[in-house]
């Protein structure tokens, strides 16, 4: 089975800086991190490989060359190969343009049985890139998965949890699944993989490597949406109440607050 995991390198939310002229996020290599929801998707791919040894995992990222150091971290947990789509003509691309470019890169890389993505990226939070990729590739798509099981070759079961209810879907492969951020946590690196990562160089693709590519669909000019302005959000001070002796009504109030976040 060939699995491809789309992993975005985002700027650490605590260190985000904006370019007011281009209205884009400044990407400093020292502040980059792999998108947490995408790492949850990667963990599902690694769990499948734990069971089925013939599984090959490729990761696909899109961004500037500064992303390479973070991409190599994916080798440290057991990925077989990593690809970076990097081209200055992609600068300023929105979700629509990103999905188009990634879909064309996936077509270039070959036929994958399963494509996994995080539900959204920390810096965009649109959640629309995964379904758009699936539409471009003309394959089935299930969003916000909480678990994935391989039932048999070329068929998987996908679970989606909505509050206290779990919905189960079965889908034939190839398919694309977007994974909820909290559904799994990426395992720690292994020493043997860390040694491999030291000498590993990700494959880099440019737009010129992609076939039948429509350059008018990417970059700021090809994007359907753009950032209008940045607004600094101010947070109010959080009030904390401490109960030393709790009455039944207060217990119910606390229980209600806790269940809202489960």
Could you read off the pLDDT of 214-229 as tens digits, one per residue?
999 999 899 988 777 7
- 171 or 18: whose pLDDT is higher? 171
Beta bridge partners of 175: 114
Looking only at the bridges linking them, the beta strands covering 2-6 and 114-118 are parallel
pLDDT over 80 at 138, yes or no? yes
pLDDT over 80 at 103, yes or no? yes
Cα 83 from Cα 43, distance rounded (Å): 18
Q: Which pLDDT score is estimated for 189?
A: 95
DSSP alpha helices (H): ranges in the chain? 36-51, 68-75, 95-109, 129-137, 191-198, 219-222, 248-260
Q: Count of alpha carbons within 13 Å of 5, Cβ hemisphere only?
A: 32
pLDDT over 90 at 81, yes or no? yes
Could you read off the pLDDT of 28-71 as tens digits, one per residue?
666 899 999 999 999 999 999 999 989 999 999 999 998 998 99
Query: Is CATH 3.40.190.10 what the domain over 2-209 is classified as, yes or no?
Result: no
Q: Tell which residue, 6, 192, 195, has the closest CA to residue 83.
A: 6
- Looking at the chain, which runs of residues are DSSP E strands? 2-6, 9-11, 18-19, 24-25, 32-34, 56-62, 81-85, 114-118, 141-145, 147-152, 155-162, 165-172, 175-179, 203-205
Section 93-102 average pLDDT:
95
pLDDT over 70 at 111, yes or no? yes
Q: Which pLDDT score is estimated for 262?
A: 61
Q: Tell which residue, 39, 225, 52, has the closest CA to residue 149.
A: 52
Could you read off the pLDDT of 154-210 as tens digits, one per residue?
899 999 998 889 999 999 999 999 999 888 899 999 999 999 999 999 999 999 999
pLDDT over 80 at 23, yes or no? no
CA angle 230, 235, 238 (to 5 degrees): 165
pLDDT over 90 at 97, yes or no? yes
Cα 24 from Cα 231, distance rounded (Å): 13
Q: Tell which residue, 205, 217, 226, 229, has the closest CA to residue 92.
A: 226
């Amino acid at each position: 089975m060939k699995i491809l995991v789309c992993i975005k390198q985002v700027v650490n939310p605590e260190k985000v800086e904006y370019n007011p002229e281009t209205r884009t996020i400044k990407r400093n290599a020292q502040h980059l991190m792999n998108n947490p929801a995408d790492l949850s998707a990667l963990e599902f791919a690694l769990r499948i490989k734990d069971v089925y040894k013939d599984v090959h995992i490729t990761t696909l990222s899109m961004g500037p060359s500064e992303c390479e150091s973070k991409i190599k971290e994916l080798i440290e947990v057991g990925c077989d190969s990593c690809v970076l789509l990097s081209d200055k003509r992609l600068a300023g691309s929105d979700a629509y343009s990103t999905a188009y470019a990634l879909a064309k890169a996936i077509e270039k890389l070959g036929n994958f049985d399963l494509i996994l993505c995080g539900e959204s990226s920390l810096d965009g939070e649109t959640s629309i890139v995964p379904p758009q990729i699936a539409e471009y590739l003309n394959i089935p798509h299930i969003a916000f998965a909480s678990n994935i099981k391989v039932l048999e070759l070329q068929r998987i079961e996908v679970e989606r949890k909505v509050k206290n209810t779990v919905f189960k879907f079965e889908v034939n492969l190839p398919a694309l699944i977007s994974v909820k951020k909290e559904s799994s946590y990426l395992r720690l690196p292994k020493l043997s993989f860390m040694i491999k990562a030291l000498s590993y160089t990700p494959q880099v693709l440019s737009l010129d490597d992609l076939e039948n590519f429509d350059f008018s669909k990417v970059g700021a000019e090809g994007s359907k949406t753009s950032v209008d302005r940045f607004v600094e959000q101010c947070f109010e001070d959080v009030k904390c109440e401490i109960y030393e002796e709790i009455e039944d009504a207060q217990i119910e109030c606390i229980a209600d607050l806790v269940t809202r976040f489960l």
